[in-house]
Structure 1
Amino acid sequence: MAGVLDSVNQRTQLVGQNRLELLLFSLGGSQQYGINVFKVKEVLQCPYLNEIPKRHPVVRGVAHIRGGTIPIMDMRQATGSMPLDNISQCFVIITEYNGSTQGFLVKSVERIVNMNWGAIHPPPKGAGRDNYLTAVTQVDNKLVEIIDVEKILAEVSPLPEDVSPEVIEDSKGDTLVNKHVLIVDDSTIARKQIQKVVQSLGMTTTVRKDGREALDYLEGLIGEGKDPAHELLMIISDIEMPEMDGYTFTAEVRANPQLSNMHIILHTSLSGVFNEAMVKKVGANDFLAKFHPDELAKRVNSRVKEMTGKGIDEA
């Protein structure tokens, strides 16, 4: 276990290479699961858990780790199965999502594998809408399921999704009625959250599940004789996505002369890891950590201002 996260310190070298590192773990049984190492801060044997009143059933308790108090969620229970037993023999994966730190209780932690996002695929269509998978892949000829952690967090500890009244006024962007926003994210929950913000500004949206789908969509517009920059106000893209990640997607867009002037915001829960230099490396216009409705709305309004000389509330 001591060496299981040895490669974390080199993880930033994967930026822009359409690669990721997966930490493989088990919830008991033969099925293997994975989580992006970028989200992992630490892995440790389950510490003593203190119960808290009126806790969500998935939260098994809180632990005092490195001077802080962290909620510990039962990953198996969160995905619809029975709670893990003998938790003192289990492990906790400490993660950072959306600027907050939490731990996920798992049965065992296996190893880290380095993969190409092209080998990560969306869940099978027959998996149903209520599944907790954001992607699947194969390691050593065995299926690995990548859990949609954002879906779990939205159910256990929902984030505010509404734009503040002072940020948005009743009047909408009428002068931009012919433009819409392309949203690219593999998480169903994340797509809905972003859609809600953008649509509250009176704008329409188009959604795609990964960078490959989004690039195909943009190239399809060109094939129809349309100018994507005229059709779209902007693109809001996640970074972690199957098939093609957000960095590679941005680089591909910038490499195409007919797409190179698209306005792209990279919007991700990988907070605290990426800096301005990494965003500039692939040519994104901006970076925003998930999920802050007001901040996202302000970025969209700023883009409207840039194009029209006035904001959504003035358009």
Structure 2
Amino acid sequence: MSTLLSSVDQRTQLVGENRLELLLFKLGTRHTFALNVFKVREVITTPFLNKMPGSHHNITGVCNYRGKSIPIIDLRMAIGLSKQEDAQSESNVIITEYNRSVQGFLIGSIMNIINTSWSEIHPPPTTVGKNHYLTAITKLKQDKNEALVEIIDVEKVLAEIVDYDTHISEDLLDQSILEHLKGRKILVVDDSATARWQIRETVAQLGVETIEEKNGLRALKLLKSWADEGRRVNDEIVMMFTDAEMPEMDGYRLTAEVREDPRLQDLYIALNTSLSGSFNEAMVKKVGCNKLISKFQPDLLVQVLQDRVRHILG
């Protein structure tokens, strides 16, 4: 599998061009699933797993990975698949890094990596309800047919295992700023309902309201509609928190589009991402983000918001 992922570090030029690469795999069913390659550290054959009594039922065990013990999550169980259609399916583990933590996902067989555009990635249809584990879908051409590829909402999977605390440290709060935060609005752009909830619950403690969009294209249309109506974007919102990965338009492209519009270019933008790696710092500078925040850190999020309002107040 190392050959499959050996050139990941050279693929950072895709970011900012509204493109991505997806690692396709199976979970013992006919369905094809995917994860963004940038979140994948390595793919390994399933190692020996130590059972951990009392652990979450979706954690199938713990393994030693490069000198550290990491949890291995049964992705099939985590997203609620009912049965194993192929009992003889190959077993592998995808090692990932999300929100500054490393974990493995037990999967079936690895297929391949595809290069595609975020414009070809679409939100799941509304008819699938609210309890699904997908952030997006796309189509894969196979011979003369098209197969559906389902992109998993890993943040939701992890949130059901790890209890994210939205508590804000008391000593962080600037009492001179708090009164000026109440009633302010921020724009939150993220395809994960879990991520949007985390931000909403955090800033609500400060009296800050959220306007939410599920992808960069929808957010850009909203911002431009305000400008078309003669409304100043900085009068509508204090700032925008945007994810990096999103269907139709990613956060990097969204930021670049905002900076290219004279009516919007002064908007303060924080990239709030679970993606790890030094390439993010370079991309933030390239497209013009003001701040990079790794998910999920309530105190850091509040600190950025307080600093922004403090700057506005002069």
Give the alignment's TM-score, normalised by structure 2: 0.94
Residues 1:76 and 2:76 aligned together: yes
**1:204 is aligned with what amino acid?**
E
Give matches, 1:10-89, under 5 Å: 10-82=10-82, 89=90
Whole-angstrom distance in 2 between the partners of 1:165 and 1:184? 27
Long gaps (5+) in structure 2: none
Whole-angstrom distance in 2 between the partners of 1:306 and 1:184? 22
The two structures, once aligned, show a CA RMSD in angstroms of: 1.9
Counting matched residue pairs gives: 309
Whole-angstrom distance in 1 between the partners of 2:250 and 2:165? 26
The range that moved more, 160-169 or 73-82, is 160-169
Contact 2:242 2:251 in 1 (8 A): yes
Whole-angstrom distance in 2 between the partners of 1:110 and 1:272? 25
Q: CA deviation at 1:271?
A: 2.2
Q: 1:214 aligns with which of 219, 225, 229?
A: 219
Residue 119 of structure 2 corresponds to which residue in structure 1?
118
Contact 1:138 1:144 in 2 (8 A): yes
Residue 197 of structure 2 corresponds to which residue in structure 1?
192
The range that moved more, 170-179 or 115-124, is 170-179
Residue 173 of structure 2 corresponds to which residue in structure 1?
168
Q: CA deviation at 1:178?
A: 5.7
**2:219 is aligned with what amino acid?**
A
The range that moved more, 193-202 or 261-270, is 193-202
Q: CA deviation at 1:89?
A: 4.3
Give the secondary structure class of the aligned counterpart of 1:134. Answer: strand
Per-residue CA shift, 1:255-311, capped at 9, x if unaligned? 0000000000001000234343321100111101111100110000000110113xx
Contact 2:63 2:71 in 1 (8 A): yes
Q: CA deviation at 1:72?
A: 0.4
Q: CA deviation at 1:223?
A: 2.2
Residue 134 of structure 2 corresponds to which residue in structure 1?
133
Per-residue CA shift, 1:121-150, capped at 9, x if unaligned? 000010100100100000111100001000
> Percent of aligned pairs with the same residue?
49
Seen in structure 2, the aligned counterparts of structure 1 residues 87 and 95 have a Cα distance that, compared at 3 Å, is farther
Give the secondary structure class of the aligned counterpart of 2:43. Answer: strand
Residues 1:259 and 2:264 aligned together: yes
The range that moved more, 247-256 or 152-161, is 152-161
Contact 1:77 1:83 in 2 (8 A): no
Contact 2:244 2:251 in 1 (8 A): yes
Seen in structure 2, the aligned counterparts of structure 1 residues 87 and 167 have a Cα distance that, compared at 3 Å, is farther
Q: CA deviation at 1:216?
A: 0.6
**1:58 is aligned with what amino acid?**
N
Long gaps (5+) in structure 1: 310-315
Residue 297 of structure 1 corresponds to which residue in structure 2?
302
Residue 4 of structure 1 corresponds to which residue in structure 2?
4
Q: CA deviation at 1:30?
A: 1.1
Whole-angstrom distance in 2 between the partners of 1:105 and 1:245? 27
Whole-angstrom distance in 2 between the partners of 1:91 and 1:163? 38
